[in-house]
Structure 1
C-alpha cells in the first residue's frame, strides 16, 4: 500500500509555535490547487503499481479549500492513481472553518476522516498560541461532524503550555474525552527558532519549556488516556481499539508515499524528495511543467537509522529481524550491553525480535534512538 500527502500552504493567521511552511496570503489559492494537480500528473508514476491506501490533506490549513477545490484535487487523484475503495481520506481542519455546511461539503467530497487542530480548550492558552478559534467553536464542530456522520475524528492537543500547575491540562484532556473522538494526537510545545515563540525566547520575553513540567504532563496524558481505553500506538498518537491512523502508521512503517505541494516530502523506500518551501517558486516551476525538488538518496546507514528512529516511536517497536534481513545488521549483538541496560532499567523490552520502549523509555525515546544510531557508514 502507499499514500499521497497534499500540502496546502495557507493559513488565516500564524500560530506562535508553528514552523511549517504556509502563507497567510490566500490570493493564489486557486492557482495553487491547479499547480498541485499539475504536479500530481507529473508524478503519476512515482508510486509505480502501488495502490493508494491513504490520502492526507495537511498544511497549512486544508479546511480553507472550497468544496470545488477539494473535489477537484480528489477527482484528479482518482483519475491518475489506483485508489482502494476503503482508502482513508483525511483532512486537517481548524474549528473556526467548520460549520454544518462546510462539514457536509467535506463529507460529500469523499473525505472520511477529520483531524481537528483544537490544541486547548482554555481560552487564555488559545490566545497565547494565537489560535483563531474559541473553546466553544472547538466543541461545537466536533459534535456537528458527528451529527452528520463524519465519525472518524482525531483531535490535536498541545501539552507543556506554561502554567502554574497541571489543572488546565487535566481539564483539556477531560473535555477532549467527553467528545469521544476515535483518535487523539498530543504534542509537547516546542520552541522553534523561526517562530514567534522563538523570537520571544531570544528577546527574553519567554522562557524555555521546563523538561520536568513537560514530562509530568506527558505522564498525565499516558495515564488518563489509558484509563479511558485509548492505546498509545506511537509516542504522540492514541486511539480507541483498531482506530489507528493508517496514514501515520504507514509512515512509521516505511511505506512509500508521494508528497505534493510546496514543502512536501516524498519517499519511495530509498530516496527522499523535498519540494521547495516557496509558494512563488513552486507556482512558477509548475507553470513550466517542472517540479522544484531536491533529492536525498538514503545510504544503508541512513535507512538503518530511520528504521530505528521510527520503530522505537511505535507500539510495535524496532524490528530487529527486518534490520537483519534487509541490511545484515544485528542491532542487539552490536549494542548488547546498552540494550540489556535499557531492559534492566525498565525502559525497554524484547518481544519476538522487536525492541519496544516502555512508558518510562518513551520519555527518552529520542535519546535512546540516538544512542543506537549507526555512526560510521555501512557498505
Structure 2
C-alpha cells in the first residue's frame, strides 16, 4: 500500500506540526515518534504520555438484547461486569483462532460499544452483522470518534485538569464533556501504567488533544506504544494473537467465559483446553547485547523450540526483550536459558513470564 492509499486520522496535520515521523500501520498513516521513542517511552513511565490512537476501530451494537447477542458471539462474559464497565474480549473463528481482540463497552442491555483493531474492524463488523438477529443493528463508526490515550503516573492530574472524571475503577468508563465537547473517558490503556482513553468526536478531537498537551502531556507515538506494551507482555494482534495463534496459546484464556452456553470458537477452544496447547507465549530477555525482533528462531542446544512473535529493545531494562511461542514439549520454564538466532549470531536469552517490568515497583 502506497502512502497515497494510507488512511489518515483526524490529527495528522497536528502531528506534522509537531515534527512527527510517520509510518504505515494497519492501513493507516501513524505518528511513530516526535522526540524519539526512548524519550517518549520514559516520559510515559515516569510522567505522562499522550498517544493518538484514533486508527482503532469503533462499532456500535444496538437494539433489544444487544448485550446478550454480543455475549453469545465474543469470548468474555459481559454478565461478569455491567453498565459503565469495559471488558477485554476476543472475536474468534470456528477453529479457535482470533479474528481480533476487542474492548467492549457495556453501555446498557441494549447498547454495546466495541473498539476493535484498525485493520480488523470491517471484518469484525461484517461477522457481527451477519449473525445479528432482527432488531439489532451493528454499525461501523470507525471515523465517528477519535481515541486519545493519556498514560502514566500523572495521567489523572492531566485528565482531571480538563474537568473530566478520573476517579474510577480500572476498566470503568464515564460519559462527560469538555468545553461542550462530549468525551467518553475510560480507565484503560496499553502501557501498563495508570491511564485513560478518551473518545471525543472525530471532528472535534483536536481541541481535546491540544488541551491535554497544554497540561504537560508529552506527545508519544507508535514506537513508544510498542515498547511499552511489549514490556508488559501485552499481545499485538497479527503478531502474538492471530487466526493461527489461539487465546490459550497466547495466554489470554482468562478472557474466555468458559461457563457461557456459547461463543464463537467455543468447541475448538474447549477441545484445546482439554488436550493442552502445543505451544505457549512466553517472554525472552537477552542475557548479552542484542536487539530481538519478530520471527527469529529460538533454540535450546541443537533443537528448535520456538519462534519470536514480537521483539524490541526495552528502554526501562536496557536489554533486548521478546515474546515467543515456545513448544510445550520442550518443557521450558522461567529461568531457563535458550539461544535466539539474530542474523546468524546466537544470542543467549532467559525465559521469563511477562510482564518484564513491574510498574508497581519500578
* More helix as a share of residues: 1
Say yes or no: TM over 0.5. no
Q: Shorter-normalised TM-score: what interval?
A: under 0.3
* More strand as a share of residues: 2
